[in-house]
Chains A and B, each alone.
Chain A
Amino acid sequence: MTTTHAPDEGFTPIRAKAAPRPGTWISAVIVAALALGLIWFLVTNPVLEWGTVTTYLLDVKVVQGVGWTLLLTVLSMILGTVVALTAAIMRRSENPVLRGVSWAYIFVFRGIPVYTQLVFWGLFTVIVPKIVIGVPFGPELLSFSTRDLLTAFWAAVIGLGLNEGAYLAEIIRSGLNSVDRGQTEASKALGMSNGTILRRIIVPQAMRVIVPPLGNETIGMLKTTSLVLAVPFTLDLTFATNGIANKLFTPIPLLIVAALWYLAITSVLMVGQHYLERYFGRGFDARTPARAGGGGGRGGRSRQAAVNSAGTTPQDPLPEVEL
């Protein structure tokens, strides 16, 4: 062996050459050629009308549509998460009524297509025109016309949110169950109330398990908002691009406009998810792989700083490495 002597360390690192893998190389070349062909096709195909795409990409209607779509996504995910957390906690309750109601909610809202649910919420003001608060069989104290309260936008948010809550409830429930029982016992032994234990100890640890699927669900919701026409709510991105396409008789470039925007928003959401995973992964490191289920969330800067400030830690079997 050739030796590049490293006098300080007193050893010579192995100079390794990778084992030949012709199969991998051949398939990589084929895949790259196919990808190039596809890009060439997309760029040169006149039907795609890239000129129209660039004209309408920042059209006022389209940008407003992006805004409404984002608002629908965020609000319905918030509603869905709150409902799901409630349902998941009710599912863990000792009271059979609470457990039963939670089960029924998940059964109904997961079992009916979103589209059907959205149409239903659109018709809600017809089914329930007035909400009255008062003494049963006695005087009315307050009465609302639902038509004034439940605009198409809020009907869409409620429809999307309640449907989403049914899926998130199962995700949150398995997240809560993933936290070791010893955590609850230690908290109880300190005199914490059940609410405090849930809020301060269980939920923050469950989030590590919940955030990756929650990210998927948010991206799914972004795309599901394109169904709000069923309510009908007519300001979102898909409706805006469809409207322009119908006016111009050019559907294809406006589909591309919509697709590009959905991809752009998805990228932003993925960045957000990355930071959330890192935040909730703090304190869980690579040394405990059994507990670190998904998402390589590491403690990040503060953890590294903590290790550095401690100086050498002979008890640590693995040296800390900045990744």
Chain B
Amino acid sequence: MRCKNLVDVGRRQFLRGGAMATAGAAVVTVAGASSASAAPVAGAQLDYPSNKLANIADLKVNEPMDIEYPDADSPGALIKLGKAVEGGVGPDGDIVAFSTLCPHKGYNVNYNDKDRTMNCPGHFSRFDVESGGQQVWGHATSNLPQFVLRVDAKGDIYAEGASDLIFGRPSNVL
């Protein structure tokens, strides 16, 4: 039962370094410098770029859209679930976004639209996008990083932070 709505890995290569028409680039350099002198323990969160991901009108229920956040090397998925979930945004409280790099060893997770889980072909971990990215079963030692979203009056959806460290980086903002 291979899912048709796979997060498209190939396309990301073309987007890298481009398409995000936001102020992200400027923020990246600042954070890169700050990470070296960062407070060692979790405390103040980083300065995140505020990146526009999509407009609500672009989203169809249960059809994830590929995103990159906080930069083009960090793939994610934006999903309208069709039912309100904790942490969901938008008028229906049902829009969520997650990193799609598995926090085990960094393979790209795939979306199963039947039970609404992200599944990792690396070593068979799976995460529940309806429960805040909770690892249903797997090897990761954190849940799937969830992006903090904001929706403006026009229905534009912005990502502005992340709940957990994204795989493969010492700092979410490199």
Are A and B genuine complex partners?
no
B residues lining the A interface (CB < 8 Å):
none
